């Protein structure tokens, strides 16, 4: 009876030890996955504490296993770090090149596309693509007409396209426009003339002034001034 009791105690220890090993395997890093397990000790019976214990008695087929795990290395390299430091460069796209199909952690490798305004040497691990251009700004050069456009005595009379639209290649980029150049015609009033100089020269004082006629852009084109004069004795 004592021998049987000793065997029962030893069996409990073996099962408990196996349970602890299993828990230890589960508690490994979340970025590891068990991919294989082989028996390294399948001896049918062993002497344990002076007693013979057999696998068949325990309902087991192996004394010791060797497990194989596949793990992710926490050593990701950002090959775009050098480009990120260049002020003239900005990221224009990012796609996943390789996904983690083993552990399901997401994307393993990204392909990022950057665009640079200046020539930049490609860092290791990157591929320089063909040179492309993007329209950064699209403005009309109206410098020749600014003086007339800002003149309150002038108004735009006609806006005519002088270079019909189409597609042009600018720095390797195809750009389409409805019109490439315009001609603006303005109608302006002549210089202001005054009939009040004689009164002003006599020392007359302006008493009142009012507009009696308006022209382009609601601009006054005729003003009536009333002067007060004193006769000299």
Domain boundaries, the chain: 2-71, 75-132, 144-188, 197-228
Q: What is the pLDDT of residues 102-159, one digit of tens each?
A: 777 778 888 888 877 666 676 666 677 777 777 777 888 888 889 888 887 788 889 9
Query: In the predicted model, what is the mean pLDDT of residues 5-14?
Result: 30
Q: How many residues does the chain have?
A: 233
Calculate ∠ Cα 64-65-70, nearest 5°: 155
CB 83 within 8 A of CB 62: no
Q: What is the pLDDT of residues 33-67, one digit of tens each?
A: 788 889 989 899 988 888 888 988 888 889 898 88
**Which of 154-158, 174-178, 214-218 comes out lowest in average pLDDT?**
214-218
Q: Is the C-alpha dihedral spanning 153, 159, 162, 168 positive or negative? A: positive
The more confident residue out of 160 and 134 is: 160
> pLDDT value at position 12?
29
Q: Which helix (H) or strand (E) holds 32?
A: strand 32-41
pTM: 0.35
The more confident residue out of 179 and 87 is: 179
> pLDDT value at position 106?
77
């Amino acid at each position: 009876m004592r021998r049987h009791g000793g065997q029962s105690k030893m069996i409990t220890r073996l099962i408990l030890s196996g349970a602890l090993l299993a828990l230890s395997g589960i508690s490994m890093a979340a970025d590891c996955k068990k991919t294989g397990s082989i028996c390294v000790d399948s001896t049918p019976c062993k002497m344990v504490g002076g007693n013979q214990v057999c696998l068949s008695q325990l309902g087991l087929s192996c004394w010791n296993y060797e497990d194989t795990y596949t793990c992710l290395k926490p050593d990701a390299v950002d090959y775009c770090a050098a480009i990120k430091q260049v002020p003239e460069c900005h990221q224009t796209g990012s796609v996943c090149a390789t996904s983690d199909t083993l552990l399901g952690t997401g994307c393993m490798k990204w392909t990022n596309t950057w665009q640079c305004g200046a020539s930049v040497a490609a860092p290791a691990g990157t591929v320089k693509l063909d040179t492309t251009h993007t329209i950064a700004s699209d403005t009309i050069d109206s410098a020749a007409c600014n003086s007339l456009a800002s003149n309150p005595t002038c108004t735009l009379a006609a806006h005519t396209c002088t270079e019909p639209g189409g597609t042009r290649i600018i720095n390797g980029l195809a750009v389409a426009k409805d019109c490439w150049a315009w001609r603006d015609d303005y109608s302006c009033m002549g210089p202001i003339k005054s009939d009040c100089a004689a009164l002003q020269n006599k020392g007359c004082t302006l008493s009142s002034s009012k507009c009696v006629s308006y022209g382009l852009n609601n601009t006054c084109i005729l003003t009536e001034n009333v002067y007060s004069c004193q006769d000299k004795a």
